[in-house]
Every structure is written in structure tokens, then in C-alpha cells.
Structure 1
């Protein structure tokens, strides 16, 4: 019986030893897990994916100068932020380790008070490549105030139109309103840009300002441009007192101004050959008719100064006619007295 007890004890010990050995081996057999530990997963995430890309940005202005401190925001296709940053002293900024796809790039600040930001744009990231972009920030526009003035009084004039440009290009056209002013924004391409201004339409009642003026404007700076106009010269109104002297009528009131037409060519009888039946009234009209020539058709009417010599000639003829008449009267009396003398003789 004792021997049977010993054999049972030995068998129990062997079973216990077998069980203990199994428990001890099990952990050893499972020492290498089939899944990575958490620390191994974090290490794998820090390693860039072999198909990642990047974008490199360079900012400049229209004059070619680099712009530091320009701020950008990068959004992925879902609108989530994929990166943000500002350009360095060389005007550069890089967004690395980007999954391939389409991104949205936003400039939030130009970093300069003289420059504007550009519009948003899409950026395509390709696997294993760097996309390089050059961003050109424009200068802020100059603020232009146009004035049109009377060159004598300084009064502001509406309705003046001018063109403003640089080189051979017209950049802005302004027309003054009811207050005689107009304003607009003039694009500039450098920190100091020279422009010309030329008036193409004058205000009502004024002459066109023909010279071309020049001025200088800077980004975001206000500038005033003034053109002056001279009033259009007008002809003076005629003075009523300066009316021309009316022309003389075609029918003169004196015999000297109007030649006779009925006795043209009639001459008085010479002394000693006249007859007693000479009519002094008809004879007196004849000298006027012969002395004054007929006015040709289409000629101008004679004025009073032309009749003076004719009046003097007419007076002389009247004297001659009177002398002839006197001689005729004396001869008649002599003829009448001859019979009386003859009768007394007989």
C-alpha cells in the first residue's frame, strides 16, 4: 500500500511538472506579437510617404523686387487647413509633405503697405515632385482727383473730359461733374510713375486746353490734377449809333442833281443872231440839260459834293441867257423906232 502511495505521488508530481512547464513556455512562444506596438506605429507615421509632394512659393512685386512677410494659407480639397506661413527675407515659403491632389492657396497679407494681395488660386500637387509658384503682388492704385477751372476766376467747371495714361497707353478717362471735379483710381507699376493728362473735351463756352501736362504718382498716394480753360471769345454786338448813312434816293431834289432829258443838245443862240421870240424859261432849262451827263445804268448815285461844279456852271449859263435876252429886247425896240424916224423925214 505504501508503494502504491509513492507511485501516485510520483505520478502527481510529473503531472504538476508538465503543467508548470507548459505555462512557462507559453509566454516565451508568444514573445513576438503579430501586430506592431503603439510606439512602432508612431515611428511609421513620422516617415514621409514615398508619393508625397510639396509646393514652393516666391513672392515679388511688378517691379521685380522680392516681398518678405507675405502670409499664405493652404487648404486641401475638403477645405481643411493643410498649412500656413509667411515668406522669408528672400520672399520664399515652402509647404512640404503634401499628399497628391488639388489644393487652394490664399494670400492673406502682402506684408507691405504699398501692395495688394492676389486672388485665390488652385495648386496641383504631384507625387514626389515640388510645385513652384511665383506670386506677383500688384502695387496699390493711386487716388486721382481731377479739377477743371476757369483760368481767370478759378471757378470749377463741369463737363471737362480728360484722358490719363503713360507712354502710348490711356489708362483712365475722367469727366468733371456738376461740382467741377472727378475722381478715380490710377494703376501704377512702380513706386514713382510718371503720367500724362490731355483734355479731349472742353466745358461749354470754353476753349479746349491743348497742352499735355505730366505728373508723378505713387502706390496708394492721393494726387490732384488741375486743367484750366479760357472762355471762348465772342464778337461784340453792333452799336445802334454806328448804323451806316442811308444812301441818297435816286431822284435829286435840285435841277443840278438831275439832268434834263427833253432839251438835250440844245444850245443858246449866239449874241446878234437871236430872235425876239426866245422864251427865257425854256432857255434857262437847256444849260442844265447839256451840262449834266446822264447817269449810266448800274452806277452809284451822286452825292451832294458832285453837284457843286454843276451848280456853278448853271449859274454862268443863266448870266449868258440874261445877256442874250437883253440884246434881243434892245434890237426889238430899235426896230420899232425906225419907222417913226422915217415918217418924220417924209
Structure 2
């Protein structure tokens, strides 16, 4: 969160003026809608952010903007599609940090190099992960991380923690949390958050890591309890939930981000036009409120700010991967 705040503060007045003056006439003369590629199925947090962004961009740019879902491989398929797209302004990509910074570290041949194949446009949002405990598994109406640790120690071999995908930040975080709380925890990868939440509610798995948007509905019903959140500060959406750092667990401070990208080779004029429109949308009260409802935080940022965020995520994720001894597959 502090990094994001610094990036926003560093966004110069001259850059904002340039964004505001960027012309929309630089877009290709075509009746085709602008496509926002999303690497996940409809209904997920990244997809919902993309749909809110698409509506705003459509208003700002005065032309149709649609979300094109290409789910699979943690966003890898959509990223590959962006690489192959023409740099004409008709195809852009809204991605979370997993596809941008984690996949290149964990997949031998991902089929793209974000630094070479993508042109950053704008930051859009920060999305922290939360650790949740099933109230059916851990015998407490208000279980804490301390309660879960005690339960896991008393029930060896049962300390499973579900994560939305293998070789993801939550996946690697499980081993870090396990070492810090001195309890035997095992990461159990799922194919997305929906089945993970279902198993948590049913008590089929005692704990899990997921987004606020995916976990909050069940938490409000008392079926699961959110016990920790990553990042440098507590989330405005969950002011009573402590960070891992507050609980004495280091190494999981980097919050996932979403940002907008164009194919490499896209003209500076197009990138500026998109950055101008995205800055207005993301900075609006309406968009901010929608992000809060999703458990995310709207964050404005220029192309250079996206690059800084990418570099920070690259370093943090590399440390997590190295710490677990994972080898690229």
C-alpha cells in the first residue's frame, strides 16, 4: 500500500496535464470495438474490474469497449493473445500481477516477456489476498490465526490451506506462514476461487487464501472468518483484520495489482490517449466505490508507475519462489 501511495505521489503534474490533453483521434478508424483481454472467466475479481473499467473507457473514448475473456493458465493465454495482437489500439489487456510477474518466474516458456512484449498504460487497482479459516473446521465462533495454528498443531496432517492456483503467490505464502507459526501446513491448489470457497463453507478444507471479493460474502454470513491480510497496511474494506506483519509473519507484504497494457509497438499517442482515459475513470468516485465493493483499491498511475510496480512485484515474487526452492516447470 505504501508503494502504491509513493507511486501516486510521484506522478508529476506535467504527466497528468499531458494525459488530459492526449487526443482520442489517434485511435484506428474502425467500427470494431476496443477489446480488453482478461485471462480469467467471467465473474472473478479481475473480470469485474475489467467490466467496470470498460464502461468508463467507453464513456471517455466515445467508442465501444468490450471485455474479451480468454481464461486459462493463470492469465497466460490472454497474455499470449496480447503479444500476437496488432498494436493498433483495438486490443488491450487488463492483467493482475500473477500473469505479469509470477508466471515468468515459474514457467520455463510462458510464451511472452512482459518487459519486451507489452507497453504499460496505467495502474488500475490493488487487490490484497486474505487468509480465511472455516468455522466448521476450527472450533471457535471467531477463530484467529493463533487459533488456527493451535488447531493445526493438534491435528497433524490436517493443516491444508486451499489456494486459487498452483505456483501462485498464495501457494508460496503457505509454506512461509507454516514456518512462521510453527505448524505443518500444506498448500492445496484449486482451479479458481469458487470451488475453494465452496469447500471452505462445507468444512472440506480448514483454511484458504483468496481475494476479499471472493471471501467476504461467506465471511459476512459467519461461514468462514478472515484472519489475516497481506500488504503493508490494513485494508479500508477490512479495518479489523490484521496484516501478516502485525501477526509476526514477514515476506508477504506485496499486494497484487491490476494494470492495463497494450501490445509492444503501440504508438506513444495511443498509449497517452488510453492513459488519459484510464486516469479519469480510475480517479472517479464511482469507480473507487465499485473497487471498494470488490475489496480492491483504485490506484491511478502512469506507464512509468506501472513499470515501477512490476519491478517491485518481480523482486518480491522472486524472493518468495527462491525461499520455497520451487523450480520453473
Q: Quick check: which one's helix share is greater?
A: 2
Q: Name the larger-Rg structure.
A: 1
Q: Quick check: which one's strand share is greater?
A: 1
**TM-score of the two chains, using structure 1 as the length reference:** 0.21
Higher relative CO (Cα under 8 Å, sequence separation at least 6) belongs to 2
**TM-score of the two chains, using structure 2 as the length reference:** 0.21
